[in-house]
Amino acid sequence: MPLQELKRLQAVNRFLKLETSRQEELDNIVKLAAEICQTPIALITILDESYTYVKHSTGTKVELIPREQTFCNHVLPAKQTLEVPDTLVDGRFVNLPLVTGDSKIRFYAGTPLSTHDGHNIGTLCVLDQEPRQLTDQQKLMLEILSRQIIHILEFEFSVNILKAQYVEARNSENKLRSFFESSESIHLLIGPEMEVLAHNKSFYDFVNKMYGVKIQIGMKAIDYVHHLYVYDFIKNFNLALIGTPIKHERLLDYGVAGSIWCHITYNPAYDREGNIIGISFNVSNINERKHHEQKILQQNQALRKIAYFQSHGLRKPVASILGLMNIVKMDGYGHNEESLTMMEAATMELDDMIHKIVSSTHLLDDEITINNDFTYPEMPVA
């Protein structure tokens, strides 16, 4: 199959599947064509590889005809209006079922429906059971109506594409918004003048709780920054605004409300053309991770302490006991009060060391309370 025909069939498939809201308008064009040409039958057809589909009609209820059995099949390659004044004297059509059958078609005139990129997808045609010939004015009107039909179809196709893109964009937006709102972290899009462009529920709840304000788009984000962190916030904001991402971790102290470890980021926000339109500001609670790190640090310190006891503290009393045992052995295991007293002291020292080791190992099992429910008493920015 030629490449051009493949491209034409792709265009045909687009319009065959097209759902249009202008059905009545297309029906009226068909009726107008029949009236202008003074014929009882008028059709809008679309032709694929095998069939001629009657999409709109007046004067007939036919909906589908094999392509090779139709007059329209000869219009597509001609790319201009085809008129058959009398089918019985035209060898191309004299044996068509539409001519020899019950329809008894004697007259046909059709003009192609040509898309903006030059593909003939079908026809606007008129038919009669009596021979006739159109005037130049009637042919011109038929061609004008065919262009109006293709304008409607292409417009409706474009509208459907826009609708589909809109639905897809809304679905993507809803998914993103769902993720955005379900996050316990603060997410904020801030404009170049520090105005709030977008925010999630966590930020809204924070501002409402701490300031009694229902945050709205356009309000100044700087108004809800803790006064101790305003300087750093402005510095990091300006760096991000010129394209430098900033991220750091910080322990924020809120007095009686407690303290919290936060992971804070300032990232440039870009539009489709790559221009910076503001910054993306995000704050996450990392208390749990920091407390785990603290626990691991304490465990490592306890292990180092145990290792020290084992390598230094235990060596001295063990050496003393072994030396005293050797003296007793050399004395023939006789009673040696002084040696036994010294052995007792060394044993007590060893016992004390063992207690210290046991005490140190308790650090490995200590549980550290983690404040996972911290709810940002002030806006944690730095």
In this prediction, residue 360 carries a pLDDT of: 57
In this prediction, residue 158 carries a pLDDT of: 83
pLDDT above 90 as % of the chain: 40
In this prediction, residue 59 carries a pLDDT of: 94
In this prediction, residue 257 carries a pLDDT of: 60
Of 228, 364, 375, whose CA–CA distance to 305 is shortest? 364
Give the count of alpha carbons within 13 A of 337, CB side only: 0
More confident residue, 24 or 312: 24
What are 187's two structure tokens? Answer: 């997410």
Give the count of alpha carbons within 13 A of 378, CB side only: 20
More confident residue, 15 or 342: 15
Is pLDDT of 378 > 50?
A: no
Do residues 321 and 340 lie in contact, with contact meaning Cβ atoms separated by under 8 Å?
no
Q: What residue spans of the chain are helical by DSSP H?
A: 3-16, 23-37, 75-78, 97-100, 136-182, 201-211, 230-241, 287-308, 315-330, 337-365
Using the 8-state DSSP alphabet, how is residue 195 labeled? B
Do residues 125 and 43 lie in contact, with contact meaning Cβ atoms separated by under 8 Å?
yes
Is pLDDT of 377 > 50?
A: no
Is pLDDT of 177 > 80?
A: no
Is pLDDT of 13 > 90?
A: no
In this prediction, residue 10 carries a pLDDT of: 84
CB atoms within 10 A of CB 7: 13
Task: In whole angstroms, give the CA distance from residue 364 to residue 308.
Answer: 16
User: What are residue 113's DSSP bridge partners?
Assistant: 122
Digit-coded pLDDT (tens) for 111-160: 999 988 888 999 999 999 999 999 999 999 999 999 999 999 988 888 87
Task: In whole angstroms, give the CA distance from residue 218 to residue 199.
Answer: 11
Q: ∠ at Cα 316 (310, 319), nearest 5°?
A: 110
User: What are residue 64's DSSP bridge partners?
Assistant: 53
Q: What's the rounded mean pLDDT across residues 244-272? A: 82
In this prediction, residue 104 carries a pLDDT of: 93
Task: In whole angstroms, give the CA distance from residue 346 to residue 153.
Answer: 103
Task: In whole angstroms, give the CA distance from residue 123 to residue 53.
Answer: 10
What are 18's two structure tokens? Answer: 């097209």
Q: What's the rounded mean pLDDT across residues 293-319? A: 67
What mean pLDDT is reported for the chain? 81
In this prediction, residue 367 has a pLDDT band, given cuts at 50, 70 and 90, of: very low
Of 168, 171, 267, 216, whose CA–CA distance to 179 is shortest? 171
Q: What's the rounded mean pLDDT across residues 46-55? A: 92
What torsion, rounded to 10 degrees, do the Cα atoms 304, 310, 312, 317 define? 150
In this prediction, residue 51 carries a pLDDT of: 93
Q: What's the rounded mean pLDDT across residues 188-194? A: 92
In this prediction, residue 272 carries a pLDDT of: 85
In this prediction, residue 379 has a pLDDT band, given cuts at 50, 70 and 90, of: very low
Q: Provide Rg for the chain, Cα atoms.
A: 45
Is pLDDT of 262 > 70?
A: yes
In this prediction, residue 228 carries a pLDDT of: 78
In this prediction, residue 220 carries a pLDDT of: 93
In this prediction, residue 368 carries a pLDDT of: 39
Digit-coded pLDDT (tens) for 202-226: 888 878 887 889 989 999 998 988 7
Give the DSSP per-residue string, 196-257.
EEEE-HHHHHHHHHHH-----TTSBGGGGS-GGGHHHHHHHHHHHHTT--EEEEEEEE-GGG
